[in-house]
Amino acid sequence: MEMNEKPTPGVEKREFKGAIPLGNVRPAGLNSTEAMVGSVYHQLGEKKFVDLVAAFYRGVAKDEILRAEYPEEDLGPAEIRLRLFLIQYFGGPSTYSEHRGHPRLRARHFAFTVNRDTRERWLKHMRAAMDEVSLPPAIDALMWDYFERAATAMLNTAD
């Protein structure tokens, strides 16, 4: 402290340790994981989501057991629904809910057999798709954690 600088009563003078990283600034009420999830879309951009989900469905198309769960002959509309859902979930535009309403994903999956086998197949194709498009490690970890938990939450058939 300078010789002539008077301390303000009750306020301890702190050493300035450099700028607060902007990454720490987040809207009130969000914890850090939620804030990270909400910024993924802006970090990756739309094309990564398009490519990720396209790669995922190329895997699904070749998987006879998983493919049998998809009711439509054309996987194109399912691809668009998953793409829009993921874009919305990871902080992008909410086009999914404008078209489909509240996701209610668990309820929407009651019509399909989600057991250990189909869960593992779903995750295997998503893992391969993520490897194909290649994501920054922190985003890869965040998304993979979400997919594993979401896929577990979708289980609806004992096997």
By CB under 6 A, name the binding residues for ligand HEM.
69-70, 72, 78, 81-82, 85, 100, 105, 108-109, 112, 114, 118-119, 122, 147, 150-151, 154
Q: How far is the CB of 38 from ligand HEM (least distance, A)?
A: 16
The minimum distance between CB 152 and ligand HEM, in angstroms, equals 8
Cα–Cα dist 127/143, whole Å: 10
- Indicate the residue among 26 and 123 with the shorter CB distance to ligand HEM: 123
The answer to whether the CB of 39 falls within 8 A of the CB of 89 is no
- Residue 34: partners with Cβ closer than 8 Å, 6 or more residues away: none
- Minimum gap (Å) between residue 64 Cβ and ligand HEM: 13
In this complex, which beta carbon is closest to ligand HEM, that of residue 37 or of residue 82? 82
- Shortest gap between Cβ of 67 and ligand HEM (angstroms)? 9
In terms of CB distance, is 43 or 144 closer to ligand HEM? Answer: 144
CB 49 within 8 A of CB 92: yes
Give the Cβ contact number of residue 63 at 10 Å. Answer: 15
Nearer to ligand HEM, 23 or 116 (CB): 116
Q: Which of 51, 100, 98, 41 is nearest to 79 (CA)?
A: 51
Position 95, amino acid = T
